[in-house]
Amino acid sequence: MPLSDPAVRNAKPGARARKMFDGGGLYLEVSPRGGKWWRLKYRFDGKEKRLSLGVYPDVSLKAARDRRDKARKLLADGIDPSENRKAQKAGPPATATASFVVSSEISFPGSVGARFPR
């Protein structure tokens, strides 16, 4: 049975972490300290994985369901949602040398190019 907003709002912590399932792999994990996390349980390449979708009440039930649906679309396209998120957070790859040269040129304009020609 799908979760309702009052059930989520009134979920009380217990002695152990508790999972309240909504459907499609989405569940609310209630910690013993009272924290409430939306999580998605899914399988990719034969391995079971979990993806955090946010913290309740910052992420509502409706928003968590929307995020679940987006992650399920990625899975249907053969993309691991967890790896996709990591790639988006990392941004474009940069070499260590290039970033050093750029940062040193910002700190000491003109000095790096004169001593170390590119």
pLDDT at 91: 78
Q: What is the pLDDT of residues 17-35, one digit of tens each?
A: 999 999 999 999 999 999 9
pTM here is: 0.74
Burial category of 82 from C-beta neighbours within 10 Å (exposed 0-12, middle 13-18, buried 19 and up): middle
Does the structure show a pLDDT above 60 at 97? no
Identify residue 77 by its one-letter amino acid code. D
Q: How far, in Å, CA of 118 to CA of 15, rounded?
A: 62
pLDDT at 48: 96
pLDDT at 8: 94
The confidence band for 99, taking pLDDT boundaries of 50, 70 and 90, is low
Q: What is the pLDDT of residues 47-57, one digit of tens each?
A: 999 999 999 99
Domain ranges of the chain: 5-91
Q: How far, in Å, CA of 26 to CA of 38, rounded?
A: 7
**Assigned CATH for 5-91:** 3.30.160.390
